[in-house]
Amino acid sequence: MSAVTAPGALFLRDIRAVLRSRSQLYSSMLMPLLFLVFLGNGVSEGLSPSKLSAGSFTAYLVAGVVVMASVFSSTFSSASYYRDRDSGIMRMFLSSPHPPRVILLGKSLAGVFIGIVQAMVVFVVAAPFVDFEWQYGLVPGLVMAAAAVVLLNVMLSGLAQALASRIQTMQGFHLVMNLGLFPLLFFSGAFFPIDNLPVWLQVLARLNPLSYAVDALELSAYANGTGGFFGLWLDFAVMAALAVAVYALGLARTPKLSYSGA
């Protein structure tokens, strides 16, 4: 097997594993949709639609739950790394003639693909129930939203791989991911506008990588104008730079195989 086909084989292997693990597959899509339905409908009456670019809180939440689906997927996809390491399969992969980065590339590509599919499923399922403006047109809006989702998942997959290769236990990994990503998610504009936050939180929101994914999705789907947003050029420039840098970081280190006898 060549270095070109090896990542593809590992990619297909992890895709099959996720398809067999239906609880992981469904929960990472169902939870964001539940947030959209219950949180959106429950708070719509409590927030003034005039303060929201989408006109209603349910529509406003769409970008947030799409980003949330990507966060969940990047977290859950790490489970295959720990399973392979603790069962000894990862040691067998790394003892093959292929460089370690080829092995890690194949596994991380599966996580990227799964995250993109799940996030876009959430987006497409939510779209008929909210009033999207599609200010750039339906097809260009969908293309821009898909591009934002791709860059976001590349970045999150790289982060998950970088942490998984350095943290010995799955419990520790999930703790770090939850402590790091969920505060970023809540202060990204996903659940409430950042314009109304205190100045110091607005500064943190502008330093938050997830804020640019939310901003790009909002501009692509339901914003009517660009006032109050970062702007698509800035969104994609920041996400592209971070996606390349973080993904390269995730592939840079050979994982340690010293846990659970792997």
192-221 per-position pLDDT tens digit: 777 777 787 788 888 999 999 999 998 888
- Which regions of the chain does DSSP assign to beta strands (E)? none
52: pLDDT strictly greater than 70: no
Q: Are 160 and 177 in contact (CB under 8 A)?
A: yes
Q: How far apart are CA 19 and CA 139, in angstroms?
A: 29
CB neighbours (10 Å) of residue 51? 12
Give 154-202 pLDDT, tens digit per residue. 999 888 888 877 777 777 777 777 777 777 887 888 877 777 777 877 8
- Taking the CA atoms of 44, 49, 55 and 57 in sequence, report the sign of the dihedral they define: negative
Mean pLDDT of the chain: 77
Mean pLDDT of 7-25: 70
Higher pLDDT, 225 or 199: 199
- Helix 22-34 vs helix 5-20: angle between axes, to the nearest 10 degrees? 70
243: pLDDT strictly greater than 80: yes
Give 103-142 pLDDT, tens digit per residue. 778 878 888 888 898 899 888 888 777 777 788 888 898 8
Higher pLDDT, 235 or 262: 235
Q: Which of 6, 149, 26, 157 is nearest to 80 (CA)?
A: 157
Q: Are 55 and 131 in contact (CB under 8 A)?
A: yes
> What length is written for the chain?
262
Amino acid at 173: F
